Chain A
Amino acid sequence: MKVAPDLQEFLAAYLLEAEEHVAVANAQLLTLEASRHRGENNPKAVREIFRALHTIKGLSAMVGVEAIVTIAHRLELLLRECERAAAGVSLQGLDALLHGVGEIRARLTALSRGEQPAQPDAPLLARLESTEVTDQAPPAPAPPTIDLEPELLEKLAPFEVEQLLKAAASAQRAIVCEFFPTPDRSARGLSISSVRERVAKVAEIVKVLPRAVPVTPESPGGLAFVLIVLTSATDAELAEAVGVDPATLRVLQAQLPVIVETAAAESKRSALTEFEDEAFGEGLRKGIVRVDVARLDDAMEGLSALIVTRFRLARVIADLKQQGVNTRELSYILADNARQLRDLRAAIVRVRMVPVSELLERVPLLVRGLCRTTNRLVRLEVEGGGAELDKAVSERLFPVIVHLVRNAVDHGIETPDERVRRGKPEEGFLRIVAGTRSNTRLELTLTDDGRGIDAAAVARKARREPPANDAELLEMLCLPGFSTREVATTTSGRGVGMEIVKRVVVGELGGELELRTEFGKGTSFILRVPLTISIVDAFIFESAGQRFVVPVAIVEEIVELERARAVEVPGQAADAELHLIVRRGQAMPVLELAQVLRLNLEKSHAANAIVVRRAGTPIAFGVDRMLGQQEVVIRPMNDVLTRLPGISGATDLGDGRPTLVLDLVALGSATPSRTERVGG
């Protein structure tokens, strides 16, 4: 018998899925708030939130994360209260719910960092317990009327009936259609899940119900699915989506026999054990695999090894050709191989892409929180479009967006009173638009209609001449430590300013940052960043007072020169500049990096050596000091520089200055003649 599995192995998958449910809960809470704003109740959203939290609770219990189980459970109790009271959720109720979901997210983040999530403290639990979660007056339920079979009608929740009635008043039609599953259809991929997915493209699904039917050749399973939908599509379009004859569709009449659901019937339906359709639910997630980014990095590393092998192969073929061997066939294969490797690389890069909408999905929540703390009214519009970008870029960009949104709400958009005084609408406007440019860059624009930036005031504070244009103004704003507020406010400022934004966008990602502002009218920030970047784990070291970076993957070992056994080169004085050291019985030359790169030798004293292997032969490069190891983003250098052998790009280590990324293997092959000269 197999050994029982350790459920802790599911922790990584748990974190990913729980994060999705948290996103659903947050989005639905905001929907609920929007409904409340319009004076409407939204039981559908309440159920969605409940369901998300219930799943989080169950999953957390399975992997033993009790802290989250406790919080999710308290939130569920609040939601049950909302549901039972049949009244709208209160503002403090919404706050408590959002706060609780935030607490869950914080614990998921802690877990993903390998930390133990904190147990919820007493004030948090007290807040979740004592909140008056509903408003007082419950909205009067509208008596629903609809010509649906009683056994189907009784399965619809009151708000679903209402949905049908509302649509009847608009241009949409309420239609009932049936789908009969058969083994044959199933074999052709026609299942209720795929039918739902297709129908969701042409109609809004109100409800899907199973109905037992007599076993016939048409319905061998004795089962039919009844789909109740709202649509403005034609019968033919809908029938095609379901895969049935248009004649079998039935249009629901809205005001025929009157069936009034009593209060008792309603409370029976309101138990939170039932949840309605989500047209774009599980169906759309089908065929999607979630992968840990580390696994993709492994794939990319494997690919790099393949490319190195290809270079070796190319060299051998070139040698053969020189010896007069006919290598035509081999050259064709090599060319094919190169194309295949390029395709493979593109395929792996595509896997790393995430929709930009994912990056922007937390913005509404952020804006909401900022509005509450700064007493602003803000209408937010987010257009993510279909653009996709590298997960690594997305992760780096997120704090930048948070910063710019904070600035816009806190410094840009005026208080409602001030706006009215200036003849602007009470509600400020913040718009974020993302789109791709030339398939390689993402352009992200954040625009507010606030007070704009006072260039003269900025210049005074920076003690400089007033800027001539927006570009110069941006330069000033990005000066280290610059902040437009004298006093750091709760929401922004605190010493970290636009400097960070510029460092990430320009320094780390190699992108562009642009500012357009009109004093009194508003401000736009435009960010253009590459859609993909390459990230490697790298050693940082110093040579002749300069810092360099080398990818960890090419380093075989790091040697302390004092301890390594130095061997005298025959025919050379002991203090000559070419040394040999012996590692594991193999002698290898030590090249002074400062000398190879023609740096200031007086400043250099090689204490360590970095060993790399070129065509099987080890070479050691003497460097002054090892400074550490970190992940760096490598930006390719401009064309002139990349032709320099041994320099594969530049990176920003966080100080805003470019640091060269060295390819020591290539440097090793570029230098023998020079070392001979040095040695001679």
Chain B
Amino acid sequence: MSAILVVDDSKVMREMVIACLRALPGSHFTQASSGLEAIERLSLAPFDAIVLDLNMPDVNGEEVLQFVRGQDRLRSLPILIVTTRDDDGARERVLKAGASAFLAKPFTPEGIIAAVRAILPGGAESSA
């Protein structure tokens, strides 16, 4: 079982991400529609991975990333950053800030499945 937190302020985008990732056996999903909500959920329950958008109101994805990496408990949590292509230098910035992987929108269902599988602990082998 993997608990995955999907963070995006766009409802359609969250639904698309989850529709794609349902193909991962035994995963279940929690949604957060803002950076604040994501941080709150992370503080209250354990997750195996986050799929995190960058462009969000209030606390944005980079700030969530920064906060998460600043907490001992969450330092090794796998984080996949998903954001729109042409985001100037976003890839370098977020990887430097501790993101586990980076995926540009538009992605394909196969693309995001592979990306999440790669960052889940032991996921790459067990469900390939």
Q: Which of B11-25 contact A (CB under 8 A)?
A: 11-13, 15-16, 19-20, 22-23, 25
A1 to B128, CA, bound (A): 11
> Taking the complex as formed, is B115 at the interface, i.e. its CB lies under 8 A from any CB of chain A?
no
- Give the interface residue-count category, chain A: 35 or more
A47's nearest neighbour on chain B, judged by CB, is B57
Known A-B contacts A17-B10, A278-B57; the reply to A62 vs B40 at CB < 8 A is no
A282 to B28, CA, bound (A): 23
Residues of A within 8 A of B9 (CB): 55, 281-282
> Taking the complex as formed, is A186 at the interface, i.e. its CB lies under 8 A from any CB of chain B?
yes
Residues of A within 8 A of B73 (CB): 222
> Taking the complex as formed, is B34 at the interface, i.e. its CB lies under 8 A from any CB of chain A?
yes
Q: Which of B102-127 contact A (CB under 8 A)?
A: 105-110, 113
Query: How far apart are B1's CB and chain A's nearest CB, in angstroms?
Result: 16
**B12 pairs with A282, CB closer than 8 A:** no
**B62 pairs with A61, CB closer than 8 A:** no
**A5 pairs with B58, CB closer than 8 A:** no
Known A-B contacts A17-B12, A54-B55, A273-B60; the reply to A4 vs B109 at CB < 8 A is yes
Known A-B contacts A4-B113, A13-B15; the reply to A274 vs B40 at CB < 8 A is no
**A225 pairs with B36, CB closer than 8 A:** yes
> Taking the complex as formed, is B43 at the interface, i.e. its CB lies under 8 A from any CB of chain A?
yes
**B60 pairs with A274, CB closer than 8 A:** yes
Query: How far apart are B57's CB and chain A's nearest CB, in angstroms?
Result: 5
Q: Which of A1-27 contact B (CB under 8 A)?
A: 1-5, 7, 9-10, 13-14, 17
Residues of A within 8 A of B15 (CB): 10, 13
Contact with B along A267-294 (1 / 0, CB 8 A): 0000001111110011000100000000
Query: Which of B16, B40, B90 touches A225 (beta carbons < 8 Å)?
Result: B40
A188 to B43, CA, bound (A): 16
**A62 pairs with B13, CB closer than 8 A:** yes
Known A-B contacts A58-B105, A64-B106, A275-B57; the reply to A210 vs B39 at CB < 8 A is yes
Known A-B contacts A192-B37, A193-B37, A282-B33; the reply to A223 vs B57 at CB < 8 A is no
Known A-B contacts A5-B20, A61-B105; the reply to A222 vs B71 at CB < 8 A is yes
**A210 pairs with B59, CB closer than 8 A:** yes
> Taking the complex as formed, is A181 at the interface, i.e. its CB lies under 8 A from any CB of chain B?
yes
Query: How far apart are A71's CB and chain B's nearest CB, in angstroms?
Result: 13
Residues of B within 8 A of A155 (CB): 63
> Taking the complex as formed, is A635 at the interface, i.e. its CB lies under 8 A from any CB of chain B?
no
Query: How far apart are A47's CB and chain B's nearest CB, in angstroms?
Result: 9
**B58 pairs with A276, CB closer than 8 A:** yes
Which residue among B22, B55, B60, B85 has the maximum number of chain A CB atoms within 10 Å of its CB? B55
A281 to B22, CA, bound (A): 28
Residues of A within 8 A of B20 (CB): 4-5
A348 to B16, CA, bound (A): 29
Residues of B within 8 A of A273 (CB): 54-55, 60, 62, 87, 90, 93
Query: Which of A17, A192, A281 touches B40 (beta carbons < 8 Å)?
Result: A192
> Taking the complex as formed, is A221 at the interface, i.e. its CB lies under 8 A from any CB of chain B?
yes
Residues of B within 8 A of A76 (CB): 86
Residues of B within 8 A of A275 (CB): 55-58, 60
Residues of A within 8 A of B22 (CB): 2, 5
A9 to B44, CA, bound (A): 34
Residues of B within 8 A of A7 (CB): 16, 19, 109
Residues of B within 8 A of A661 (CB): none
Query: How far apart are A176's CB and chain B's nearest CB, in angstroms?
Result: 16
> Taking the complex as formed, is B67 at the interface, i.e. its CB lies under 8 A from any CB of chain A?
yes
A62 to B105, CA, bound (A): 7
Contact with B along A196-237 (1 / 0, CB 8 A): 100000000001111010000000011101000000000000
**B59 pairs with A4, CB closer than 8 A:** no
Query: How far apart are A413's CB and chain B's nearest CB, in angstroms?
Result: 38
> Taking the complex as formed, is B84 at the interface, i.e. its CB lies under 8 A from any CB of chain A?
yes
> Taking the complex as formed, is B83 at the interface, i.e. its CB lies under 8 A from any CB of chain A?
yes
> Taking the complex as formed, is A99 at the interface, i.e. its CB lies under 8 A from any CB of chain B?
no
B24's nearest neighbour on chain A, judged by CB, is A1
A282 to B10, CA, bound (A): 9
Known A-B contacts A58-B83, A183-B44, A210-B39; the reply to A276 vs B57 at CB < 8 A is yes
Residues of A within 8 A of B106 (CB): 58, 61-62, 64
Known A-B contacts A10-B12, A59-B13, A61-B85; the reply to A223 vs B39 at CB < 8 A is yes
Query: Which of B19, B55, B70, B87 touches A5 (beta carbons < 8 Å)?
Result: B19
**A208 pairs with B55, CB closer than 8 A:** no
> Taking the complex as formed, is A613 at the interface, i.e. its CB lies under 8 A from any CB of chain B?
no
Residues of B within 8 A of A58 (CB): 10, 13, 55, 83-84, 105-106
**B12 pairs with A277, CB closer than 8 A:** no
> Taking the complex as formed, is A51 at the interface, i.e. its CB lies under 8 A from any CB of chain B?
yes
**B23 pairs with A61, CB closer than 8 A:** no
Residues of B within 8 A of A54 (CB): 55, 84
B127's nearest neighbour on chain A, judged by CB, is A1
Query: How far apart are A317's CB and chain B's nearest CB, in angstroms?
Result: 47
**B86 pairs with A274, CB closer than 8 A:** no
Query: How far apart are B84's CB and chain A's nearest CB, in angstroms?
Result: 4
Q: Which of B67-92 contact A (CB under 8 A)?
A: 67, 70-71, 73, 83-87, 90
Query: How far apart are B4's CB and chain A's nearest CB, in angstroms?
Result: 15
> Taking the complex as formed, is A516 at the interface, i.e. its CB lies under 8 A from any CB of chain B?
no
B82's nearest neighbour on chain A, judged by CB, is A58
B56's nearest neighbour on chain A, judged by CB, is A275
> Taking the complex as formed, is A253 at the interface, i.e. its CB lies under 8 A from any CB of chain B?
no
Nearest 7 interchain pairs by C-beta: A221-B43, A4-B109, A61-B106, A223-B43, A58-B84, A5-B19, A58-B105
Task: Taking A54-B84, A59-B13 as given, write out 6 further A-B residue pairs in contact, using a Cβ cutoff of 8 Å, ordered by the A residue number.
Answer: A51-B57, A183-B45, A222-B71, A276-B57, A277-B57, A281-B58
